[in-house]
Every structure is written in C-alpha cells, then in structure tokens.
A = this chain, B = another copy of it.
Amino acid sequence: MKFSFSNSVNGMKPSEIRELNKMASSPGIISLGGGMPSPETFPIRELTEIMEDIMKNNANLALQYGNTLGINPVREEIAIMLEKVEKIRTTMENIIVNSGSQQGLYELGAVLANPGDTIITEEPTYVGAVSAFSANGLRMEGIPVDTMGMKVELLEERIKALIGSGRKPKFIYVIPTFQNPTGYSMPVERRKILIEISLKYEIPIVEDNPYGQLRYYGQPVPCLRSMPGGEDIIYLGTFSKVMTPGLRLGYTVAPKEVMEKFNLIKQALDLATNSFSQYVAYEYVKRGIIYKQVELNKILYKKKRDAIIKSLKENMSDMAEYSEPEGGMFVWATVKKNIDTREMIPAAIKNGVAYVSGQAFTTNGTQKSSMRLNFTFGTVEQLDEGIKRLTKTLNEQA
C-alpha cells in the first residue's frame, strides 16, 4: 500500500529536542537539551499515599471515563489554587483539564484559527507551541524578545501592517514569565502595554505560564490574566513542573464561549483527560502538598541555576552572552563568534554534551548562534561539566 499524507503533517519537521533526547540518553552524555524537571522533585512518598487512598476509596470513579472538561473536584481546586498563587479570579466552569498544557496549545490552534490564518508569537518561542500551531496550519509572526520579553513597541506596528495586508492575527501567544527559551520576564509596564494593544485591536492574548511559580530571585510580577483588563485572557497552566510531567496534566482558563468550543474539540481529540491523574492532582492540591513541594523545588533549582551561571561565568564569558534568569528552567546563550549552533551539535555530542539550537525555537531560521541550556535536570556537577564540554566544543570551532 502506498500511503499519501496530509499537507500539514508533510510540512512538519521532527522535533530537534526529541532527536536530542534520544542521543542524550546514551551513557556519558550530559543533556542540557530537554525541558525535563529533576526526578528529585517528584513527591514519590506523597503520591504513593494519594494513589493508595484513591484506589481504596474512589477507584470506580478514578478508573472510569470522566467528563470532557475534566472532573469537577480538580477543576474546583485549580480555581482555588490560581487565586492563591496567581491572584487569578475564576471558577470551575472556566477551566478545562488537558493531557498536558501541550494539548491546551493544540486546542487553541484548532479552535481560534483556521488553517492559513496568522498568529503572533514571541521570537524565539516555545518549540512545542511551534509544533502545535504548525500542525494546525497556522502562520506564525514572531515579535523579537529582548531581556524584558516581547518588544511590545514593535507589536502594534506589526499588527497594523498585518491588518493592512488582510492578515489580522487571530491571537497573541506569549510566555511572559521566565520565557521559554530565553528565561527573560516581561516587566509590568510592558504587560500593561500588551493588554492595551490586545484590547484596542480585539486580538485575544494566550498566556502560557508553566514556570511562574518557580522564582528564585527578584520580586513577583503579576500574570497578565490577573491584571486589570486581563479578564478575557486565555491562561495555560501545568502540573508538569510542580507535581510530575508523566501524569500529563495541564489546564486552560478561558471565557465561557471559548470553553464551549474546547468541549467540542476535546471530545474529538481524546474524549477526556485521564481520570486517575486528575484525582491524584485533586488530592495533591487539596492536601496542600503542592505548596510545600514548590518551595522545595525552588531551593533545589536555585542551586542548579546558580551552578550553571557560575560555570558560564568561569568558562564561557569571553565566548557567549547568556541570560541570568530569575526563575524557570532555561538559560539562553548566544555565542559571539559566527557559529551555527545546529551544525555544531554533532561536535558537542562527541564531546559528551547536548543542547537545543536556537533555530528550533523559530519558524524563520533566525537565532542560529543561540542555544537553550536547561539547568533543572542535571546535577550541579553535571551542569558544571556540561558547560566545560560546551566551552571545549566552542573552542574547537574554526
């Protein structure tokens, strides 16, 4: 049988990160490539207890099909948690529980835009968002990011130009806090301007906030959804960084009319999210374990963040500029020499270190001399050794 495939999937490229993870799983390779939390942060004892309790008291519901939008108890607890940690005021009815927030991104691409439509992202932006929006056939227009996140002064001009050419963007996708891949955050002034532009041109904002709770330095900045005028912003959160990623749980907060469309697309995508995982998350939040675990994660990740920055300072400061993020999971390094970091990957792997090249985070082939370096997965020693191997690799380049 000769198979023919859809245009959208023919247009998609394999994720560099997936390939890297495969290579990086070879023994001896230090991976700064993935976006994985450290298994040290998995609350195994607490989760084991919770699972036992669920299987004892609630197995018939936890093992059965659940509601399309999620089981009500966890949706209620998420609403309570969001008010507590992000000052977001919402209710259960405005929350859908997804199979990871990756699914939330895919749903938005399917629901808010038609194939061929234009949306705005940061440049560079999260590689999984590029994948989700590409699969939906969307055209991404990237607004450059500097040390204060998306350069909002360029945003309005771009929107005007796009409207002028009949391509009004369907939404604006941003990761305002500890951005993936750069690690930078938008100050509150830029956030205000972003919301103003969104309201002025009636273009919805999609705020992705997987790392907001992982702050190691500096003062918290309010998330967009909690700010005046931000009530209609679509907000994505995840349990992957504050519980575990393997249980695949994320959630989207959205106005009622968007939620109705989620109800349709979610049914088509996978009927409903894993009930068992949802009951685990419900107990995890309800019992308050999440708040204690986040504090522990912050202590651990702060050490790791300090270790990679120290090693970068000691080894690579002549060769590269790098972000010094106040939170999150990533450092963004841009080499001063004219090196294509994608082409350098085989040499790096040979030296026993992996990273993701800057190009992976764009759709237009820019960011060639940048790299995303993850600091949450490796140990302090591995991070230092990884940066040394990376420095060696850079030195070997002509």
Interface residues of A (CB under 8 A from B): 1-9, 12-15, 18, 34, 36-37, 39, 42, 44, 47-48, 51-52, 55-56, 59-66, 68, 98-100, 102-103, 106, 110-115, 128, 131-132, 134-135, 170, 198-199, 202, 204, 232, 240, 244-248, 255, 257-258, 261, 263-265, 267-277
Contacts and interface: CB of A to CB of B under 8 A. Distances in A.
Contact of A48 (B13, B52, B61, B272): B52
A135 B269 contact: yes
A244 B276 CA distance: 10
Number of copies: 2
Given A51-B55, A55-B48, A246-B275, A270 B99 contact: yes
Contact of A112 (B3, B55, B131, B267): B3
Closest 7 interchain pairs by CB? A246-B275, A135-B268, A63-B244, A1-B232, A39-B60, A63-B246, A103-B270
Contact of A245 (B1, B5, B63, B100): B63
Given A62-B246, A131-B267, A268-B106, A199 B55 contact: no
Contact of A247 (B255, B269, B274): B274
A278 to B, nearest CB: 9
Contacts of A198: 1
14 contacts: A8-B110, A9-B265, A14-B264, A18-B68, A42-B60, A44-B55, A48-B56, A48-B59, A63-B244, A63-B246, A64-B246, A99-B270, A100-B270, A269-B269
A198 B27 CA distance: 46
A3 B268 contact: no
A246 B268 contact: no
B202 A2 contact: yes
A48 B49 CA distance: 12
Contacts of A202: 1-2
Contacts of A244: 63-64
A144 to B, nearest CB: 25
Given A202-B1, A247-B276, A103 B264 contact: no
Interface centre among A112, A232, A247, A271, by most B CB within 10 Å?
A: A271
Contacts of A115: 115
Given A39-B60, A51-B55, A244-B64, A6 B114 contact: yes
